[in-house]
Chains A and B, each alone.
Chain A
Amino acid sequence: MADTATPAKARVLVVDDSSLVRLYYRTALERAGFEVKQAINGIEAMEKVLSEPYDLVIVDVNMPRMDGFTFLRSLRSGAADVATLPALMISTESGVQDIGEARMFGANFYLVKPVAEAELVRHVCVLTGATL
């Protein structure tokens, strides 16, 4: 997927079952210049990352049908071009065990909700290499 060419706008996939949460992240990231797509669970997210290129996936933990951990495990065991996609996990789960599990399944970073707009944008910039 991504070679050395930097896209004009980094593409971020937001995966969360709550429509308002998706909208909140999307609005914050679009305002900062990112291109944002959405998925409502791990299954839909998997379909999206396999069909179009992304620079980052932001993924919730608790979702119906396919949760964030299962999604990450599938992602990391997939084809090489998606297996290396950076993943930011954002969840209400704040236990050390949850964070450890996220790392084990391949999350690059873990944030505990609520996440303020500036904090979200800062982490997305770091993980995509984008500058504001």
Chain B
Amino acid sequence: MDDSKGGSSHATHISPEQVQRFCEFVYRRTGMSFTESKRYFIDRRLEDRMAATGSSSFQEYFSLLRTDADHEIEHLINSFTVNETYFYREDHQFRCMTASLLDAIVHQKEPGGTVRIWSIPCSTGEEPYSIALWLMENWSQVDNYNIEIVGSDIDTRALNAASEGVYGDRALMRLSRDVVSRYFRPIAGGYYQIDEGLRNSIEFTRANLIDPQDMKQYRDFDLIFCRNVLIYFDDASRRLAAENLYDCLQPGGYICLGHSESMSRISPLFRVSRFPDAIVYQRPEADHG
């Protein structure tokens, strides 16, 4: 069983059957579906984790993973998530939020009422912070409602980075100089840290989109941004995620997906809503049947 071969390239000794078992495990835990075509992506991460845990064989690593020794499942999930993003990404949806969606949402609320917005997955925080910045810069009603913004992700490492709120030039490239100088302060190494008040205004939490138990804690959102994650899921997980997200929305609430994603192909639960700046999906006001 143990054939301690040493060297750095552990994953090259993994059989296709072992890769399949491993992929099934990742799928059950995260909903992310990887096939043989992503072998390189899988090998790299598997190699890293085997080296980090000092595992000399796949079997040794896999049993460690299954018993979740030293929170290895969390470490593995963290290594599989992609956290490359930037502020004001796909900003036509933010424009749609302030030009159309929020008017429809607050139409049903009293002044001073709560508007709940969810960014999932929020990665290292660029999206929820972008929502807050956009609202302060572009929504004339920003002080008329109690706005709650929650950022959630399955990757705890990304969540820690989000709470820290430290970014490099690349993440800030779409922001105007004025916005950067107002809401960020330069720190060592050419980085910028986002304003403390902004960091405190967003609640960061861990959540797994395909875990109904996890998702039960999240309810009554008026608007959800769930962008560029469903593309990593297979059909069954996508449908499960969509059903979970539906339950997290208020009746009449909206969900924004990534530009290459379409809810119509995933679930019939939502209604397509076309606005001048974006196509979004709405949980109907009244459930049918």
Contacts and interface: CB of A to CB of B under 8 A. Distances in A.
Interface of A: 16-27, 31, 38, 62, 90-94, 113-116
Contacts, number: 56
B142 interface: yes
Interface in B173-191: 182-183
Interface string B182-224: 1100000000000101101100000000000000000000000
Nearest to B200: A19
B111 A23 contact: no
Interface of B: 110-112, 132, 135-136, 140-144, 146-147, 149, 182-183, 195, 197-198, 200-201
21 contacts: A18-B143, A20-B132, A20-B135, A20-B142, A23-B197, A24-B136, A24-B142, A25-B143, A26-B197, A27-B136, A31-B182, A62-B112, A90-B143, A91-B112, A92-B111, A93-B112, A94-B111, A113-B112, A114-B141, A114-B142, A115-B143
Contact of A23 (B141, B146, B198): B198
A116 B144 CA distance: 11
A71 to B, nearest CB: 17
A23 B136 contact: yes
A27 B182 contact: yes
A23 B182 contact: no
Majority SS of interface residues in chain B?
Answer: mixed
Contacts of A27: 136, 182-183
Contacts of B197: 19, 22-23, 26, 38
Nearest to B114: A18
B127 to A, nearest CB: 16
Contacts of A93: 112
> Which 8 pairs from chain A and chain B are nearest by CB?
A92-B111, A92-B112, A19-B201, A114-B144, A23-B197, A113-B144, A21-B143, A20-B147
B52 to A, nearest CB: 37
Nearest to B139: A114
B115 to A, nearest CB: 10
- Residue with the greatest number of chain B CB neighbours at <10 A, chosen from A24, A31, A116: A24
B112 A21 contact: no
A20 B140 contact: no
A26 B201 CA distance: 13
A19 B198 CA distance: 8
Nearest to A90: B143
Residue picked from B110, B111, B141, B183, most chain A C-beta under 10 Å:
B111
Contacts of A92: 110-112, 144
Given A38-B197, A91-B112, A113-B111, 10 more contacts: A16-B143, A19-B201, A20-B143, A20-B147, A20-B149, A23-B195, A92-B110, A113-B112, A114-B142, A115-B143
A4 B146 CA distance: 39
Nearest to A94: B111
B16 to A, nearest CB: 51
